[in-house]
Amino acid sequence: MAWQLRQQGSPRSIPDLSLGQIVEGLRDGQWATTDEVKAPGEPAWTAIENHPQLAEIAEEVEAPPSRKHDEGTHLDMTALIDVCLVLLIFFILTTTYGAVVQKVVPLPAVKAESKNPRVVTAKDVKERMIRLQVYQDAASKPVLRLENQPIQVLAADGKTVDQDLLTRAIRPYVQGEIRKTEMLLDASEVSWGMVIAIQDAAKGAGVHTIHYLKK
């Protein structure tokens, strides 16, 4: 005869079960330890937890699983400290290197005035020098006048000098009949970069000496 199984007090039962099937169902959670079984030849129903052949297995099923102690959270600070030290050294070296290699563009030194300074007359300016005047208008836009005539030699941005245009404007005075090779530059309230650009353009046109008008 086979084993039978039913819920506690239920009139309906499951027949034709083997002991192995009951044990497997109990371990899988298919049966409860309070369910009742009847072995072959037994006249009465017995709870699984009380049956002599199943009580040990029922205790294993009902026993709570052993609690696994969680390992405490641990953060390794060694790697973080190493990264911070590397970054600190990098910033220190960068700051120091930047301070060492920083360069300042030197401005031309002013020579000490001699006891007998050269006097340039209006006649000298007229005969030997090209006069170029540079200043800013009311809108802070550079204005250039070559021999008292306004010239349009600014670049597209309207703030810098187009050296090629300025060279072409100066060249006729250098290669003309008088052949002026000196320039009298009157630059008021303009940037040093513009003065350098004017010098380069004048040199490109053939001017070898530039005099600055002192005010």
Spatial neighbors of 177 by CB under 8 A, at least 6 apart, are: none
Query: What are 36's two structure tokens?
Result: 């009742």
Q: What is the pLDDT of residue 117?
A: 59
What does residue 14 show for φ and ψ, rounded to 5 degrees? -105, 115
- The predicted-structure confidence for 172-190, as pLDDT tens digits, reads as follows 888 877 688 899 888 877 8
Considering the chain, what is the average pLDDT of its residues? 81
Question: Is pLDDT of 65 > 80?
Answer: no
Q: What percent of the chain has pLDDT over 90?
A: 9
Residue range 69-106, pLDDT digits in tens: 555 666 778 888 999 999 999 888 887 665 555 544 45
Positive or negative torsion for Cα 141, 145, 149, 153: negative
pLDDT at 87: 92
Smallest CA-to-CA distance from 118 within 196, 180, 182 is with 182
